[in-house]
Amino acid sequence: MNKKASRYRLAVGPEFSQIQLDPEMGFLRLHSLPLLIGITGPTKSGKTTFSNYLVSLKGFLYVSLSHSLNLLSNQLGNFNPTWKDLGELARRLRMRFGNDHLLREAFNNIDFSKSNHVVIDGILHPEEADLLLSYPNSYLLAFNADKKLRCVNASRWFGIDLEDIQKTIDARDGDENVDKNEKDPGLPIPNVFHCITKARQNCVEVDEFNDKNIRIKGFEILKDLVGMEI
């Protein structure tokens, strides 16, 4: 075999990447693959907080699936959608185009010329998780916290009475005590828990809501996964 490495082009994900065959070492080397970090977890568990750290500290490109839903809602004439409106829109899209539709559309719109590192906030369906993990150099990072703690965090964040915000989170979680007409039609919590399971050991259990705690715990996992430190 010629000692000079052979080169090929192969479609391996959202963009074309280069593969180099190294005859001396006997394995393939992948070059220039984008790093994709998907973030999953229930409402107000720290997902967006950590995503913002990846953007500000590591130069990641930020993609939000819920933001994509908001934009689509605006295009359809609803300029102030409620979380139930967005849930219903997500449900209709998934029924018509598949459960991973939002993520596929997000991939089609990522501009990798801006950054080769991308964080995708809001992976909330198992098929979205499967699609993400089907790409090389992709990882799923989960955030989870006790519901009471999430309610307190949401109440502080939105400035809404704790009792009122708990009703909203119960509905978004698909709590069995909530009337079915009040539940989130698009994102029942079992789907999110399945995503957390797919993240395996890459789950941040948030026991205290402050930015430093979330940042440190998140980067502890990324250090093990990809060698990325704060």
Query: In sequence order, what DSSP letters do the residues of 86-118 get, joined into one string?
Result: HHHHHHHHHHHH-TTHHHHHHHHH--TTT-SEE
Question: How far is residue 128's CA from residue 130's CA, in Å, rounded to a whole number?
Answer: 5
Q: Are 91 and 185 in contact (CB under 8 A)?
A: yes
Check whether 10 has a pLDDT greater than 90: no
Compute the average pLDDT of residues 34-52: 94
Segment 97-142, tens digit of pLDDT: 999 999 999 999 999 989 999 999 999 899 999 999 999 899 999 9
**Starting at the edge strand that comes first in sequence, how are the strands of the sheet with 138-144 ordered?**
61-64, 117-121, 35-40, 138-144, 203-205
Segment 26-36, tens digit of pLDDT: 545 445 689 99
What pLDDT band is residue 9 in, cutting at 50, 70 and 90? very low
- With 0-12 / 13-18 / 19 or more C-beta atoms within 10 angstroms meaning exposed / middle / buried, residue 22 is exposed
> Residue 159 corresponds to which amino acid?
G
- Phi and psi at 122, nearest 5°, equal 105, 30
- With 0-12 / 13-18 / 19 or more C-beta atoms within 10 angstroms meaning exposed / middle / buried, residue 68 is middle
* Predicted pLDDT at 171: 75
Give the bridge partners for 198, in sequence order: none
Compute the average pLDDT of residues 56-71: 94
**If we measure between CA atoms, which residue out of 74, 129, 76 comes closest to residue 103?**
129
Instruction: Between 122 and 169, name the one with better pLDDT.
Output: 122
Compute the average pLDDT of residues 5-29: 44
Check whether 177 has a pLDDT greater than 90: no
Fold of 34-226: Rossmann fold (3.40.50)
Segment 125-137, tens digit of pLDDT: 999 999 999 998 9
Check whether 83 has a pLDDT greater than 60: yes
Stated pTM of the model: 0.81
Segment 180-217, tens digit of pLDDT: 566 555 555 567 888 888 998 899 999 988 899 999 99
Q: Are 64 and 122 in contact (CB under 8 A)?
A: yes
Q: Can you say whether the dihedral through the CA atoms of 97, 62, 205, 219 is positive or negative?
A: positive
Query: Residues spanned by CATH 3.40.50.300 within the chain?
Result: 34-226
